Amino acid sequence: MTTRKGKGKASGLKQTDIGVFFGLKPLKDKGKEQEAGNILPGVSLHQGPVLEERKGGKGDHGGHQTVGVHRLQVREGGRKRWNRGRINGEQRESKRCPFYKKIPGTKFAVDAFQYGLVEGITTYFLTHFHSDHYGGLKKSSTFHIYCNRITGNLVKSKLRVAEQFVHILPMNTQVTVDGFKVTLLDANHCPGAAMLLLFLPDGQTVLHTGDFRADPSMEAYHELLSCRVQTLYLDTTYCSPEYTFPTQQEVINLAANTAFRCVTLNPRTLVVCGSYSVGKEKVFLALAEVLGSKVCLSRDKFNTMCCLESERIRQLITTDWKAAQVHVLPMMQLNFKNLQTHLSRFSRQYDQLVAFKPTGWTFSQRVEAVEDIKPTVHGNISIYGIPYSEHSSYLELRRFVQWLRPLKIIPTVNVGSWASRKAMERCFSEWLTEAYEANNVKGI
């Protein structure tokens, strides 16, 4: 087996390096169902047929933790795939689970809760706490969910799923789940977001990125350096050349510098940052630190942040609106009417407001650099739309794939049309060809 050598640690991106959800507008709606009859088996470097199914076997080699699996009581035999009955309170599979959410040769499904109980699946992984991934989970759910601690905290706190069904896996530590070796790696996406590195008994290695933003620090993950990934399930939200946008740090610096300048010129400036239930933490924490202020959150958002188990964050957040110069509001409230109303509530402290809307949806191709981004202004209120994305840009995807050089790539986003699938296939083929030519690798 080919290996990469290096001393990098998978903790290069820590869970407390908080990310956000959302980025630039994708070509198709994220999570759109795959068209019936159109299967994208991935891009393979093998000239022969690609094996979709892999044989199981004994894979516990010792030296790592073992996690027991509580199997769902699903009756075997005679059950049709489209049966809408219920088992143990869960609806049976009501619509077909896409192939890219299941790992061949295992009984694993990834982010597949909206399909009810999936035939042949006993173990359900949740890569992160965003609704398009945990959709289908509710208080009465009896799926046995495997995730890391942050995501588990959010599932139990926000969805009220019973603790007995939430199985916490450590980060950067190989464990055994249902007889298969599994390692969770930081996905650089949002709090608790994880990639799944799976080692199958037949020697195959699978990496499922979930949602992620590829970062050069991942090239130092010793778990990836020490193995050869055959199959890559890839977050292809922005797998098209037009999706080129700034790094997170560039955008954070823009927001921090702008806020600092505004407050320096007028100390009575209130700074507002938009957010989702989970997301935008890096931005508003940076604003608080540069201004030497706390961040005020709604009680619900405050409780969510406490699930992240970060002492640094706990010291920066408050629910006292008058005790903080940085306020976090729901993204949908960031318009002039709502912001004027919000500012008027604190007129004794502030007479100006600058707001940051950190979502790639507002990014314009006409802007060559983040420094060129201008606010929309109405009276004493300014709103900056900043291109802060938690999904990989096209160039970041290319770099990651060319570094990893998997034998097969399976896209997990924008697979709903034949045209988008073929376009992604062409990208993968070009990237891998370039990578192998650059490394003088033969036989592709």
**pLDDT tens-digit profile of 51-102?**
233 333 333 333 445 454 443 333 333 333 333 344 444 555 457 899 999 9
- Residues 303, 368 within the same domain: yes
Beta bridge partners of 65: 175
- Residues 382, 421 within the same domain: no
Q: Is residue 231 part of a domain?
A: yes
- 200 three-class SS: coil
Q: Residue 112: what pLDDT?
A: 94
- Residues 89, 197 within the same domain: yes
Q: How confident is the model at residue 363 (pLDDT cuts 50, 70, 90)?
A: low
How many whole angstroms separate alpha carbon 261 and alpha carbon 142? 51
Average pLDDT in the chain: 82
Tell me the pLDDT tens digit for each residue of 7-27: 444 434 443 333 322 233 344
- Residues 31, 159 within the same domain: yes
Q: How confident is the model at residue 370 (pLDDT cuts 50, 70, 90)?
A: confident
Q: Residue 359: what pLDDT?
A: 80
Q: Residue 278: what pLDDT?
A: 86
* Structural domain containing residue 137: 26-241+392-438
The domain spanning residue 225 has which CATH number? 3.60.15.10
Q: Is residue 119 part of a domain?
A: yes
- Residues 226, 255 within the same domain: no
- Domain end among 366, 386, 406: 386
How large is the average pLDDT for residues 107-125? 94
Tell me the pLDDT tens digit for each residue of 221-245: 999 999 999 999 999 999 999 888 8
- Residues 53, 136 within the same domain: yes
- Domain end among 386, 402, 422: 386
Lowest mean pLDDT among 31-45, 106-120, 127-141: 31-45
How many whole angstroms separate alpha carbon 12 and alpha carbon 89? 41
- Residues 261, 211 within the same domain: no
Q: Residue 232: what pLDDT?
A: 98
Q: Is residue 352 part of a domain?
A: yes
- Residues 59, 108 within the same domain: yes
- Residues 69, 39 within the same domain: yes
Is residue 426 scored above 60 in pLDDT? Answer: yes
- Domain end among 360, 386, 412: 386
- Residues 71, 180 within the same domain: yes
Rounded to 5°, the CA angle 101-394-3 comes to 65
The domain spanning residue 359 has which CATH number? 3.40.50.12650
DSSP H or E segment with residue 358: strand 352-358
Is residue 196 scored above 60 in pLDDT? Answer: yes
Q: DSSP letter string over 80-134? A: -TT---EETTEEB--SPPPGGGB-TTSSEEES-GGG-BPTT--EEE-----HHHH
- Residues 278, 190 within the same domain: no
Share of the chain above pLDDT 90, in %: 68
- Residues 114, 186 within the same domain: yes
Q: Total domain count for the chain?
A: 2
Q: Which residue has the higher pLDDT, 372 or 395?
A: 395
Q: Residue 201: what pLDDT?
A: 84
